Structure 1
Amino acid sequence: MTTPDGHSHLIQSTILVTGGSGGLASRILQLFAERGCEHLHSLDLREPSHYLPGVNYHTGDLTNADTIRQLFANVQPKIIIHTASPKFDAPSPILHQVNVEGTRTLLQIARESGTQCFVYTSSASVISDAQTDLVNADETFPVLLEQSQQPEFYVYTKALAESDVLSQNQRRATHPFLTCAIRPSGIFGVGDLVVLPGILDAYFRGQTQWQIGDNRNRFDFTERTNVAHAHYLAAAALLAQLEKCHDSPGVQEDEGDDDKTKVDGEAFFITNGEPRCFWDFTRLVWGFAGDTTPRERVWVIPRPWALRLAGVLEWACWALGLGQPSLTQTKVRLSCMTRSFCIEKAKTRLGYRPVVGLEEGLQRAVEDCLRRRATEDEGLKKRS
């Protein structure tokens, strides 16, 4: 791994990570600490499940302007890593309040308080309508900012927030405020509560003999450490650009770096760079958990049939008040879509290379999921 130009400045800078008690943010804080950053702060509504040494923890509501303003007055962060977000299935008003309004509040207070660098955790899905295949998609693809284009409200709010963050980028040497966005795809890793547990649920239900679609669709996933690494590189790159702004007081937003090296005001797709056919990835997860189902015993359900079945199950569960079924039309579409992304821009401009391989990361993450599940099962037995 090459050392970013802004590395030494990053070590000395005060860094605030929002959503710091979450899985990705915790890994970001841990990685930054491992690389020598000494002034790390975390902001979250809740206390972390475990405290990392060297990190200062603060509790507060991102949408409360007075709370955030007071925190900035006390901490005086130079760099913001903004990862805070409700879960994807949170109610729409909460998603909009936190992801959109909360981000706008944070941007305003950060600028007022003298913060100079802002890295936003976006999503690769901001260019996806959840129906159209994405084949090696890059950052030239338009972000879908209309709610009618985004069937998932969570993704819609992430797209709006990313647009707000990048629009605030400003190089003026008197008050520079440099921003960029990281767009990871399919985050998994140790502590994962979404991607791998959902896949493993099917394994524990004995459903590994089923497959939806022909498994020709390639999908990009990203190990959590690689996402944290990308945030580190982005923060260092913004700091390096910041030094250029100070050294060249006449530089304006439309001047400076060649387009092929520009980081501020830009978005970057981040993946493991190892796209796999969706069901190959899924069976890799099941295999690490102990599944031995031979391929010749796998029953393939065509996508149109699976969509009809999911529609019936959704209607039945809704009518009976049973909540969401394990098979939904959204899950069918996603499991049959191609979602691969080009990470050349991140490689060229950030110096990004994955530091944890796909299978290495998966094996560790699956082992962690199994341990946590065993601990939870043991706890249930004791309580009963």
Structure 2
Amino acid sequence: MHIVTIQESFLDVIQDVEAGKVTHENIWVARRDTSNEEHQEYYDVTVLMKEGKLAFTSDTAPASHLKFQQNGHRQFTVDIADELGSHVYHLRFPDSKLNLGLRGSKISTSAILPDGTRLLIGTDAGHIMQYDTTTARLVSEIKNAHLADILQIVVLPSSQVMMSVGLDLQTKLWPVTSGAVNLPARIFLAQKGQITDIAIIDRGRNFLTASVDGSVDLWECSTAQVVSEFRRIGGLKDPVTCIALAEGQPVKPELTVGGDLLHGCSRSLVFVGYKLGTIQQYSVAGHYQTGTKLQRPVAVTLLHIEGGYLVSGYADGLLRVYEMKLNQETKEGQSENLTHSYYDLQLNPNFPIEHASVSSKKRGLSIMVSNGPELLLQVDFDGASFCYTQLVGLSELFRIVLIEKNGSNLYVATENDIAQY
């Protein structure tokens, strides 16, 4: 796989040339192969106006070797020919970027309110900050929300409260407010290893946390009590890396485990990804391991459920899309056993699939996915095959900490910036 990077100020250069501030200006484009990332090819591209139109020429390569053209708003194509033939790369730049100017800390995670008005930032110093997305103004800050890095922030459906997960093994419930906040409304602490994922059930009265100690805990929010714990039969201490919720047949009331501490869990199924490569499904309300089990010999690093598909990512850079189909022999009251076919896209094998946002299209899926430093992709899956565009225009050596879709907007957080595509 080839990774193409481009000068961060490329769009600024284009604006200067189009505005007549300069007659021409050079930018660089680089390409490297994931089979040998230490070797990079660099190309100088001159941006200029020809006959009233934007043009691109290259002095470091023959005209037949590198071609660069604009295809649409902030979208470009690079065509590089080598001894193996012509390679076409589709590039897309962000619509906007916001540098928060954090001092002495980096962005470790982020989230956005459903209405898109507030951006929540967690830092590696344990602080939580809330910004107005229109003005980029800091609205509020919770200092020392955790003793170490904020690993994840999720906003509950009401948009009135949020949960933060810290490297200190604690999950905390906070109000989303512009006023001063000193203490969390609840603290959830039970698991003995780093918390790797969190999933909100229904309106948030129940939620799940996953841990490297091998457990997935079901919590009741108002009491801060663990309702039940899930561990994989045959691998009780296999570290859990990620979880994703789905819906199935409702569990009969007499078969539920948790009683009055269960809220909106009757149809909830959870897919759990493990370090040893297993994806196992559980019934949340029934508290049992179902017959649905998927296996690869590589650590699972990402799970998403969308539109009848299970999207999984792995430590070796493989993106796999399972098409989940209900077995017609399933009986009422039982959890679904699923048959599945799958489609693979091998990305950079040197790094894990780290973050993704998945949404349904008329046919298939749109997957925004990160895979190591400087690789952020928009992957389109049509139900049988993949094509992708590289999302560029971020700082050099960027590493993604979160990808989140909000309406038609895609927000991407790096350790230093927030970009909107």
Same fold, judged at TM 0.5 (above):
no
Structure holding more helix per residue: 1
Q: TM-score range by the shorter chain?
A: under 0.3
> Larger radius of gyration, structure 1 or 2?
2
TM-score, normalised to structure 2, is 0.23
The two structures have a TM-score, normalised by structure 1, of: 0.25
